[in-house]
A and B are shown apart, each in its own frame.
Chain A
């Protein structure tokens, strides 16, 4: 268990660093969604299934979609997001 937690922690940090360092906003959004997804695994490990579900549905799901909605509109209107 503790190794899984450590792994997830590293995965979160890695994804976060990718999200911050990448040049592409789209990649950043996906990486941020991954952070959330890994976090929801951590929540399961921490005996918080409710939180895990919410984080997965809202944090990594809906939020990512929202980002893409806006991003794609901006792209089509000439922004480089």
Chain B
């Protein structure tokens, strides 16, 4: 199962990157990047998955003594939590930028913002 998730995660990343690099609309680029980062999250979580184990919550279902044999690896999950929030931050920032750029130029086409070059 983890393999399937990982594969689809990687596919999401590739799709996202391809979309972000071919779609010239600023908003669509941001959408594509958010798909790619979802893909990253899926890959990360699937790394921590061990077949047949349960969530890393040590309640009644998971006695302390056998916890190490029953739960999945909690570390990637913790990382993904952080990554999701960071992703949201970056997305919000890019959106604000896109809006601001749009206001300056009345355009959302990335190839219109090339005054700086060479």
Contacts and interface: CB of A to CB of B under 8 A. Distances in A.
B102 interface: yes
Contact of A47 (B27, B34, B53, B102): B53
A21 B42 CA distance: 22
Contact of A19 (B31, B85, B107): B31
A77 to B, nearest CB: 7
Interface in A5-24: 5-6, 8-10, 12-13, 16-17, 19-20
Interface string B37-66: 010011001101100011111000000000
Contacts of A1: 1
Contact of B45 (A43, A58, A79): A43
Contact of A50 (B23, B81, B87, B92): B81
Contact of B8 (A12, A19, A69, A81): A12
B36 to A, nearest CB: 9
Interface of B: 1-2, 4-5, 7-8, 11-12, 15-16, 18-19, 23, 25, 27-28, 30-32, 34-35, 38, 41-42, 45-46, 48-49, 53-57, 71-72, 77, 80-81, 84-85, 87-88, 91-92, 95-96, 98-99, 102-103, 106-108
Interface of A: 1-2, 5-6, 8-10, 12-13, 16-17, 19-20, 25, 28-29, 32, 35-36, 39, 42-43, 45-51, 54-55, 58-59, 62-63, 66-67, 69-71, 73-74, 77-79, 81
